[in-house]
Structure 1
Amino acid sequence: MSNMNAMKTHSKAMHVAITNRTYKGKTYSSTLLRQTYREDGKVKHRTLANLSALPEDVVDIIRRALKGEAFISATDVLKITSSKSHGAVCAILSVIRKIGLDKMLGGDALWRSIVLGMMTARLVEPGSKRFTAAYWQQTTLGSLLSLPESISPNALYEAMDTLFARQSILEKKLAKKHLEEGALVLYDLSSSYLEGTHCPLAAFGYSRDKKRSKKQFTYGLMTNKDGCPVAVEVFPGNRTDAKTLEDQMTRLREKYGLRRVVLVGDRGMITKTRIIDLKNVGYDWITALRARDIQHLYEDGAFQLSLFDERDVAEIEHPDYEGERLVLNRNPLMTEERRRNRQDLLLATERNLEKIRVRVETGKLVTADKIGLAVGKVIDKHKMAKHFILEISDGTFQYRRDEARIEKESRLDGIYIVRTDVPHEEMSMDEVVKTYKGLQQVEQAFRNMKSLQLELRPVFHRLEDRVRAHVFLCMLAYYVQWHMVRSLRTLKEQDAETYGSFRLVMERLKSLQRNTVECAGKTFEQVTQPDAYQQKILDALGVVL
């Protein structure tokens, strides 16, 4: 009985076989599903199916199944129990540790982790402190920084208060690292509007955000010659550019111990009064002349436009600027841009003036006072008053362009003059112009801090010190971004499609997840495999996930 059962089992045995046959000199291979059986004491094979058309991996599964292996669906065994964004926050924290900012912060471990967490979130997903505390739970920031599973927004506010208390110490460390005796220091001022009116810093002033109806605060950013941020200071919203420079001279000399620097500021920053102050403390400076001063020099015969026939840079001297160097520069691109902008503004002004003329003609505006008020709003809006000749009286309004004035101004389009007291032997005229252009790096920093990347504005804080802490936190986040962009510079030059922008870099890295997986009763973590673009970014930053 047992032998009969064995023979019966054997007769149902199946296997996968590969056969080869030659036909007209060519060898053909077939993959067959066969059954083995006995007949008259001989082992024979019966072909049940031709598997040649099936993919190799399917054939392999059939072969292994016939040998006794059991197979079940991967979805029944593998379960992803959680998935958190990992790539961007891991890259930022890696860079922070590489540049030593975590050690520079000092303080106790929990406070340092909270500050680093706020800084990282500001670069990846900026938002309110409440949003930031919730956002951490969606990323691996908590585990990477050993933060508590649940953290309240108040803990973030308290960390900001401590950060502001340590600002002076931290900026001194940054200055020591990035500034040295005789260094070039770039400084510029910007402003951001406040939501609400109760902050002591809130005041009306020159709004760079074009939010004239909102009160604002101003802040000055100091960087080294490469645009690396070193210090930031917050002022009331009505503080002028030149007035803030006094504080920066004190900071550089008394706090950072720098006896000699070259301070670079724009034409509204380094005024005649500030130049005297700079000379008194022994600091050199680089700035530029205002448009009216350039016009005066031209009319005085200090330079001719023929200077630019063969080159775009020239240097002159003038008795009004004794002991100083005046470096003239002509930018053809700026020339075209200014002429185009002027034409656009003239046309926009004319369109609005024509509407007023029609209103006067139809009797809707009658008195000279009301006509003048309406006209004043139009020409002030586009700053075109100097380019129009206006005739206003009761019931009459006429306007025309002042072509002579427009032609006179346009002759100097694209020409600017850099003013400095740095000696020839220390800086050539080309270097003087290049150094002044370096202020664009500070302007770029302002754009980054204000934009969607860091979202410094709008500001909702009411406490003065909280506003200062918020701005300082944004500066530190930009400090990290500056180092990351510097590392990505080669990638940007070689592969603009991969880089795109810093925002795109963050978006690409955010999709790299850390997944918690359960399999056969065991739990493990697995990070998403980077694609080609993501790997290039990680390699450029020197980051290993």
Structure 2
Amino acid sequence: MFIDVVPHGRSASAVLLRESFREGRKVHKRTIANLSQMPPELIDGLRALLAGGTVVGGPDQALEIRRSLPHGHVAAVLRMMRKLEIPRLLGRTVSRERDLALALIASRVISPGSKLSTLRGLNLETATSSLGQVLGLGAIEEREIYAALDWLGAQQGRIERQFAKRHLRESTLVLYDVSSSYLEGRCCELARHGYGRDHRPDRLQIVYGLLCDREGRPIAVEVFEGNTADPGTIAAQVEKLKRRFHLNHVVLVGDRGMITTARIREAIKPAGLDWISCLRAVQIQDLAEGPLQMSLFDERDIAAITSPDYPGERLIACRNAALAGERRRKREALLTATERELTRIVAATTRKRAPLRGEAEIGLAVGAVKDGQAFRSHHHHGSLQLPAQRSRYRPRGGARWDLRHPD
């Protein structure tokens, strides 16, 4: 870089900070900044620094970098948020709460952390990026962060309706699943002991359900009490799709533990919705004794069947060859291990010193082998009698069930 003085006839010359670059054999100049309004002594000092020398007049006139805040990731995230119209979704009117909400969302993307660490990263004195400065937040108090979250919570219904208007339409797939998070403390009114995915049964938790479009884009989220079972959240989602989003016909997608036969009968069918779900192992075993014959998969891995047990529904059975091979391998390994252990018991009954005698002792030894192999079977997700996997899909005008059979 260098300082270039460009004369303007009778007007004052322009003082420009420039850099040179080469294109092929030609050298060009690129202007970085206009320094014309700077005091002459600062321009001279900058010229001396760029030349690698010292500043005339003493070190107190030299340029000194006191602090530098990372900015590139902030610019990228804010640009994408504006491209997605996130500020407009949060609120059409510019307000302190909206700017703080934008900062909280951007911070969650840039550097997730607690409320306190986010506050420190936004305040000018302790900033970890240029985010607070770019959004013009100034000094932020802790209470403002919580007030912004309360404001954002009040906007949730309107924001979710806007997302649904963007991404959902009639006769489309809607994906739904639930999860849970455990909590520290006892102040959350929804916190309960329940089935925890975090493997912390000693902690209270909340359950939350996420509704997405067919591409996996989040549309709506809802928090439930921590002891709410998965099927117990379905009715709220049906109500949301019908009443709030004004959708008359969509296909709700969920797993077998959520979209149960009872929920289909009580909530989904009366609302006129279709569904994708799964059959349980017992139901597939019943079908295997009737219309579901393994000869259907001699040439193809997928077949359509019907059953009087599921009137008005179309059943799709799919054989997963890769899963069948893996389960066959595990089954053979378990059988080999069991045979090896039983052979040792047989040898123990015929040894000369302290042979294994009596039905009780032999039965205990065989039972220990059986229990040990059953534990390994469960631990490795295999068994000597493998149940079938399955899923269900019901398109408009009829139902479709997808069954996956391992063998």
TM-score, normalised by the number of residues in structure 2: 0.69
Aligned equivalents of 1:252 and 1:110: distance in 2?
32
1:385-419 CA distance string (max 9 Å, x none): xxxxx967xx997341479x943326x4xx42424
Over the aligned positions, Cα root-mean-square deviation in angstroms equals: 3.4
1:170-227 CA distance string (max 9 Å, x none): 1111111111122211111111111123322111211112222222110010011111
Aligned equivalents of 1:229 and 1:311: distance in 2?
36
Aligned equivalent of 1:418: 392
Letter of the 2:108 counterpart:
R
Cα deviation, residue 78, structure 1: 4.9
SS of the equivalent of 1:102 reads helix
Aligned equivalents of 2:275 and 2:182: distance in 1?
30
Q: Is the 8 A contact 1:329 1:417 kept in 2?
A: no
Aligned equivalent of 2:384: 407
Alpha-carbon spacing, 1:273–1:346, altered in 2? closer, same or farther (3 Å): farther
| Identity across matched positions, percent | 41
1:304-363 CA distance string (max 9 Å, x none): 22323322222111111111121112333444555678899999xxxxxxxxxxxxxxxx
Establish whether residue 282 from structure 1 lines up as the match of residue 259 from structure 2: no
Establish whether residue 138 from structure 1 lines up as the match of residue 140 from structure 2: no
Establish whether residue 156 from structure 1 lines up as the match of residue 141 from structure 2: no
Aligned equivalent of 1:96: 81
1:33-82 CA distance string (max 9 Å, x none): xxxxxxxxxxxxxxxxxxxxxxxxxxxxxxxxxxxx98543897553332
Cα deviation, residue 302, structure 1: 2.2
Please list, as runs of the form range in 1=range in 2, the aligned pairs for 1:330-349 lying within 5 A after superposition: 330-335=319-324
Aligned equivalent of 1:528: none
Establish whether residue 196 from structure 1 lines up as the match of residue 176 from structure 2: no
Aligned equivalent of 2:292: 303
Q: Is the 8 A contact 1:325 1:421 kept in 2?
A: no
Q: Is the 8 A contact 1:187 1:222 kept in 2?
A: yes
SS of the equivalent of 1:259 reads coil
Letter of the 1:398 counterpart:
A
Alpha-carbon spacing, 1:284–1:230, altered in 2? closer, same or farther (3 Å): same
SS of the equivalent of 1:79 reads coil
Greater share of residues in helix: 1
Q: Is the 8 A contact 2:121 2:128 kept in 1?
A: yes
- Give the total of aligned pairs: 313
1:461-494 CA distance string (max 9 Å, x none): xxxxxxxxxxxxxxxxxxxxxxxxxxxxxxxxxx
Establish whether residue 398 from structure 1 lines up as the match of residue 368 from structure 2: yes
Aligned equivalent of 2:212: 223
Structure of higher CA gyration radius: 1
Tell me which of 31, 35, 53 is aligned to 1:73.
53
Please list, as runs of the form range in 1=range in 2, the aligned pairs for 1:239-278 lying within 5 A after superposition: 239-276=228-265, 277-278=267-268
- Which stretch of structure 1 is more off in the superposition, 85-94 or 334-343? 334-343
Letter of the 2:226 counterpart:
G
1:404-447 CA distance string (max 9 Å, x none): x943326x4xx4242425447xx9x8xx86xx9xxxxxxxxxxx
Q: Is the 8 A contact 1:204 1:214 kept in 2?
A: yes
Aligned equivalents of 2:383 and 2:208: distance in 1?
36
SS of the equivalent of 1:214 reads coil
5+ long unaligned stretches in structure 1? 1-68, 348-389, 437-545
Alpha-carbon spacing, 1:228–1:396, altered in 2? closer, same or farther (3 Å): closer
Tell me which of 187, 190, 196 is aligned to 1:207.
196
Letter of the 2:53 counterpart:
S
Cα deviation, residue 236, structure 1: 0.5
Aligned equivalent of 2:157: 168
Establish whether residue 179 from structure 1 lines up as the match of residue 168 from structure 2: yes
Letter of the 2:268 counterpart:
L
Alpha-carbon spacing, 1:211–1:79, altered in 2? closer, same or farther (3 Å): same
5+ long unaligned stretches in structure 2? 1-46, 337-361
Aligned equivalents of 1:335 and 1:104: distance in 2?
48
Alpha-carbon spacing, 1:338–1:203, altered in 2? closer, same or farther (3 Å): farther
Letter of the 1:174 counterpart:
F
Task: Say which structure, 1 or 2, has more relative contact order (CA 8 Å, 6+ apart).
Answer: 1
